A and B are shown apart, each in its own frame.
Chain A
Amino acid sequence: MQAQAPILQAKNLVKRYGRVTAIDHCDFELYPGEILAVIGDNGAGKSSLIKALSGAITPDEGEVYLDDQRVKFSSPLDAREQGIETVYQQLAMSPALSIADNMFMGREIRKPGIMGKWFRQLDRPAMERLAREKLSELGLMTIQNIRQAIETLSGGQRQGVAVARAAAFGSKVIILDEPTAALGVKESRRVLDLILEVRSRGIPIVLISHNMPHVFEVADRIHIHRLGKRLCVIRPEDCTMNDAVALMTGAKDPSQLAEAS
């Protein structure tokens, strides 16, 4: 896997907020077809790193490469156009609008011909059909009514719709920020399966999570973030959850881990 070139790469990223350095000369690599988990203590700068990769913030220094091409995102829209989709913790959905409307928010399909061109009418049937297809592809077909408002769905269903939206449009990379944080056991299970399903389609995933069992279950590699930079990258099969937590909190040093194993 490592022999391949990384699909998404960051070198020497720096982001400062006043006197606080949120990202401190951080590197990052994501390889094709893998699930890379990013873990770290609260305030370690995981979110800032992810925002820099998804275009929500612009780093002060450093470079981001997508497919070996240098990219500069000035907004999440830029990143999306390049095929990087992000599912934010707050999900970024409009509760009063329907599932289909939400899935196509910002990239609506217009009717062909005069109605679309002159009256700018939306092609609702096409949008609803595609939305239904995407949901059933990911095994979410039990959502029957695509016109249902998002706010009538449960937390897991909302997450499912958000992941489906990302999977439908994210051609290169999907970034998931704490997708199971607000969910119960069963719903988390469902979302984890969804993540594996997306990976089996060949789309690499960056997963930010606090939940060690979830991370150790689905991740291929784990990027441990500490004090604004990458401390090390481990493989879940090489070490235990306790090791990971110890590294994350600074109780252990990566060199100690190497000795231990």
Chain B
Amino acid sequence: MAKPEVTRQESNAARIDASEAVAEFQPHRTGLAYRLQHALHMNPALVPMIVLLLSILLFGALLGSKFFSPFALTLILQQVQIVGIVAAAQSLIILTAGIDLSVGAIMVISSVVMGQFTFRYGIPAPVSILAGLMCGMFCGWVSGMLVSKVKLPPFIVTLGMWQIVLAANFLYSANETIRAQDIETHAPLLQLFGEKFNIGGAVFTVGVVFMVALVLVLTYALRHTAWGRHVYAVGDDKEAAALSGVKTDRVIISVYMLSGLICAFAGWALIGRIGSVSPTAGQLTNIESITAVVIGGISLFGGRGSILGSLFGALIVGVFTLGLRLLGADAQWTYLLIGVLIIGAVAVDQWIRKVSV
């Protein structure tokens, strides 16, 4: 053992030299751009929040009190509530580096189940609602199993589920709409989320309150529970998460089930919003939810972003939609600007990622 002892003593000497030099942690670059990049890295919801505030100020300046009133601002909240709720579900999936194209279809079939169970079979409304929520969760479970256990790409799984669920929806409902008056007289509970209350000119609905509460609860869960950290870890690098001891399949299934459940709640809120149960409602919700998530700064590659950002993303779309309509602009301008925002948001995401270089 004589020889290694010598080398070890040498290495001790080398260690003293090296210890100061290598593992130190000093920010090498300072300056505004770097600090901004770092701040955005830590709080990815900052960009959409700033964009949201600026767009509210911009339209407020252009339109004055017509836009800048409690009524108009809360109208935006009401208009985005469905997309906002679905975007929360979509965010969870996208955080795991997936994508869910079936969110809109799950939402609609859940609302149809709630309506048809009540009116076709005469089941009490609370039980029907529970059945609708279970239906949404079941759809999520199927996708989750296919993604985690069968290891199919989420895009393909949910593209298939979209068609399957939508077709099942039309077959089951026989393309029948349940009229708003019928719901109002026989099962007002189905319209619960449309219930309005007024606070000093500001009009809120139960759906709006639910949307905000949901986002806050999910923010807490993602940031302060082990489950939330695992969702990020799985989205960041699934293999690495598995090797660190995260039960990745279980996390993915739980995320898809929760997302399905949230979509079912969105279905319930949809009844409140449009009054009736219609199997043809919400056809654009898929793409609108993905838009909100992307503008909200959640990375499509997974593991980065915050759910608060998606809410801001949905609100930004709502502000542009209402603001441009009040300005009397062609609706196409809204789509054009949203397109610009999507590309801009992804460009910012790429820039934030460079913080590691």
Using CB atoms and an 8 Å cutoff, list the residues of chain A in contact with chain B. 56, 76-77, 80, 86, 88, 90-97, 101-102, 105-108, 110, 119-122, 124, 139-140, 142-145, 148-149, 151-153, 156-157, 160, 186-187, 189-190, 192-193, 196, 217, 220, 236-237
Contact = CB atoms under 8 A, between A and B. Distances in A.
Contacts of B304: 96
B332 interface: no
A122 B226 contact: yes
Given A92-B240, A196-B8, A237-B4, A105 B246 contact: yes
B41 interface: yes
Given A151-B355, A189-B11, A80 B229 contact: no
Interface in B181-239: 220, 224-227, 229-230, 232-233, 236-237, 239
Given A96-B304, A145-B25, A156-B23, A105 B356 contact: no
Interface of B: 1-4, 7-8, 11, 14-15, 18-25, 41, 220, 224-227, 229-230, 232-233, 236-237, 239-247, 303-304, 355-356
Contacts of A91: 240
Given A105-B244, A106-B246, A189-B15, A121 B225 contact: yes
Nearest to A197: B15
A120 B225 CA distance: 6
Would you list the 7 A-B pairs with minimal beta carbon distance, nearest first? A106-B245, A92-B243, A151-B356, A108-B226, A105-B244, A94-B233, A94-B236
B245 A80 contact: yes
B2 A237 contact: yes
Contacts of A102: 244
A88 B241 CA distance: 12
Nearest to A77: B245
Contacts of A97: 229, 232-233, 236
Contacts of B4: 217, 220, 236-237
Most B C-beta atoms less than 10 A away, residue of A95, A106, A120, A151 = A106
Secondary structure class of chain B's binding surface, majority of residues: helix
Given A152-B355, A157-B23, A190-B22, 13 more contacts: A105-B229, A106-B244, A106-B245, A107-B245, A122-B229, A140-B23, A151-B355, A160-B23, A189-B11, A190-B18, A192-B11, A196-B11, A217-B7
24 contacts: A76-B243, A80-B245, A92-B239, A95-B237, A96-B232, A96-B236, A97-B229, A97-B233, A105-B241, A106-B230, A106-B244, A120-B226, A122-B224, A142-B20, A142-B23, A143-B23, A145-B25, A149-B355, A152-B355, A156-B23, A189-B11, A193-B11, A217-B11, A220-B4
A93 B246 CA distance: 11
Given A142-B23, A145-B25, A189 B14 contact: yes
B233 A190 contact: no
Contacts of B22: 156, 186-187, 189-190
A95 B233 CA distance: 8
B3 A108 contact: no
A107 B246 CA distance: 9
B129 to A, nearest CB: 25
Contacts of B233: 94, 97, 105
Contacts of A152: 355-356
B244 to A, nearest CB: 4
Nearest to B238: A94
A46 B22 CA distance: 30
Most A C-beta atoms less than 10 A away, residue of B2, B25, B244, B355 = B244
Contacts of B225: 119-122
A190 B226 contact: no
A91 B237 CA distance: 11
